[in-house]
C-alpha cells in the first residue's frame, strides 16, 4: 500500500489495509486496544491490479484508490471511502484514467484535504503526474496536470469531467501534458501529504533529484514548488506534516543515507538507512517533547526505530531494533492510538502475519512485546 496503511478511525479503533492477490483487505479492532476482526474484502468482487494507495482525512475517514482492469490492456482507477473501522467500506467507484484510456501507468497516491476531499495523484505514461480532486457534493473535478509556475496550465484545456468520473474518460487528456519543464520523468511511486494549511503537497523522485508540488488554493491544481538535486533511490519517499508551516520528505539517497528535506533548505542526512524501502514516520509526544518517530525493516529483518525532536535533524538519531526477524516483504507502519500513544504494526503479505506493539507507560521509547493478531 502506498501511504500509511495503519490508521486510527474517528471512533479510536485501529484499522489496517493490506493487498491480497487481486483485492484490498481491511482488518479493524473490535474495540480500541482490543481484539481484531478477521480480514474483510473491500468493494465486493471487483478484481484489482497491484499498487493501491490509502490516505486519511482529518475527519478520520480513510480513502483508498486502486487500479482495476477494464479491458484488454486497459485499466482505470477506482476509489472507496471507509467511514468507520467497524463499517464496511463503500464499493469501488470509477475515477477514470489520466489519459482518458490506457493501461495502468504506475502506483497512485491519495491525500485528503481539510474539507474531506480526496486528491488522487497518478503517474502518466509520459512520465508526468495528473491530479483529480473529489467534489464536496459528489463526483470529481477534471484530471489536471501540474500547472506552470506562471499559472498557465501547460497548454491544457480542462474539458468536461462529468459528475461521477468513468473509465473511458472525462474530456481532458492529462497524460499528454508536460509540466513547466516538460515531463519530469517521475520514477517510482509519488507520495501525497496534507500540509498544516489543509492543502495537498506531492513529492516524487525524478532523474537527479526530488520534485515538490503544492496548491496555491484549496482543491486547486498542483504548482511546481521546488526541486532538490540529490541522488535519491526511487520508492523510498515518505512525507509527513511536521509543523503548521512545513512538510518533511524522508528518502534514502544512493549512498544509503536516510535524509530529510523541507522546501527552501538542503537535505539533511539523519542516519544510515536501516534497510530498503521507505520509512514510516509519525509525530508524537515523548516525555512532553514533540518528536518524530521513524521505523523501517532493517537488513537483519527486525524492525528498527529512531526518534528525534521534530524538525531538529541536527540533534541526531540512532536506530534501536525490536521484535523478531521478519520476511523480506514485511512492511512497517506507525500510528497513534486512542490515547495518542505510539503503536507500530508489521505486515508480511507472503506470510499473512500481522503483528503489533505499543509504547510502554515509561520514559523513552520503550515498547511492549510484539503480539500477533
Q: How much is the pLDDT for 167?
A: 45
Q: How much is the pLDDT for 352?
A: 78
Q: How much is the pLDDT for 181?
A: 41
User: What is the rounded CA–CA span in Å between residue 63 and residue 79?
Assistant: 7
Q: Answer whether 77's CB lies under 8 Å from 120's CB.
A: yes
User: What is the rounded CA–CA span in Å between residue 282 and residue 320?
Assistant: 16
Q: How much is the pLDDT for 149?
A: 56
Q: How much is the pLDDT for 183?
A: 59
Q: What is the pLDDT of residues 78-131, one digit of tens each?
A: 999 999 998 999 999 999 999 999 999 999 999 999 999 999 999 999 999 999
User: What is the rounded CA–CA span in Å between residue 75 and residue 59?
Assistant: 30
Q: How much is the pLDDT for 55?
A: 96
Torsion of Cα atoms, 326 then 62 then 14 then 294, to 10°: 50
Q: How many CA atoms lie within 13 A of 222 on its CB side?
A: 34
Residues of the chain with pLDDT under 70: 148-183
Q: How much is the pLDDT for 152?
A: 40
Grid cell for residue 246? 512545513
**pTM for the structure as a whole:** 0.91
Amino acid at each position: 500500500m502506498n501511504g500509511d496503511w495503519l490508521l486510527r478511525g474517528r471512533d479510536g479503533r485501529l484499522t489496517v489495509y493490506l493487498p491480497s492477490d487481486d483485492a484490498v483487505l481491511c482488518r479493524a479492532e473490535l474495540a480500541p486496544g482490543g481484539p481484531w476482526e478477521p480480514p474483510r474484502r473491500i468493494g465486493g468482487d471487483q478484481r484489482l491490479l497491484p499498487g493501491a494507495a490509502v490516505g486519511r482525512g482529518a475527519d478520520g475517514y480513510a480513502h483508498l484508490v486502486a487500479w482495476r482492469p477494464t479491458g484488454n490492456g486497459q485499466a482505470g482507477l477506482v476509489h472507496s471511502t471507509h467511514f468507520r473501522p467497524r463499517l464496511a467500506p463503500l464499493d469501488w467507484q470509477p475515477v477514470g484514467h489520466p489519459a482518458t484510456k490506457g493501461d495502468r501507468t504506475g502506483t497512485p497516491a491519495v491525500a485528503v484535504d481539510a474539507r474531506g476531499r480526496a486528491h488522487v495523484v497518478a503517474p502518466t505514461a509520459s512520465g508526468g503526474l495528473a491530479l483529480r480532486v473529489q467534489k464536496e457534493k459528489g463526483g470529481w473535478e477534471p484530471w489536471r496536470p501540474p500547472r506552470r509556475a506562471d499559472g498557465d496550465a501547460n497548454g491544457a484545456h480542462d474539458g468536461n469531467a462529468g459528475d461521477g468520473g468513468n473509465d473511458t474518460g472525462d474530456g481532458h487528456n492529462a497524460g499528454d501534458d508536460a509540466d513547466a519543464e516538460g515531463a519530469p520523468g517521475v520514477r517510482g511511486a509519488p507520495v501525497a501529504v496534507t500540509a498544516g494549511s489543509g492543502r495537498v503537497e506531492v513529492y516524487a523522485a525524478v532523474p537527479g533529484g526530488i520534485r515538490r508540488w503544492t496548491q496555491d488554493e484549496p482543491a486547486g491544481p498542483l504548482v511546481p514548488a521546488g526541486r532538490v538535486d540529490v541522488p535519491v533511490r526511487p520508492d523510498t519517499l515518505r512525507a509527513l506534516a511536521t509543523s503548521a508551516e512545513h512538510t518533511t520528505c524522508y528518502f534514502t539517497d544512493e549512498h544509503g543515507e536516510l535524509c530529510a528535506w523541507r522546501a527552501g533548505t538542503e537535505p539533511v542526512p539523519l542516519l544510515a538507512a536501516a534497510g530498503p524501502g521507505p520509512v514510516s514516520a509519525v509525530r508524537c509526544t515523548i516525555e512532553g517533547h514533540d518528536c518524530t518517530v521513524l521505523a523501517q525493516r532493517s537488513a537483519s529483518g527486525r524492525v528498527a526505530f529512531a526518534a528525534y525532536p521534530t524538525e531538529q535533524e541536527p540533534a541526531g538519531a540512532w536506530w534501536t531494533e525490536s521484535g523478531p526477524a521478519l520476511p523480506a516483504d514485511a512492511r512497517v507502519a506507525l500510528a497513534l492510538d486512542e490515547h495518542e500513544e505510539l503503536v507500530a504494526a508489521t505486515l508480511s503479505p507472503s506470510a499473512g502475519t500481522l503483528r503489533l506493539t505499543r509504547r510502554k507507560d515509561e520514559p523513552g521509547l520503550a515498547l511492549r512485546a510484539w503480539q500477533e493478531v
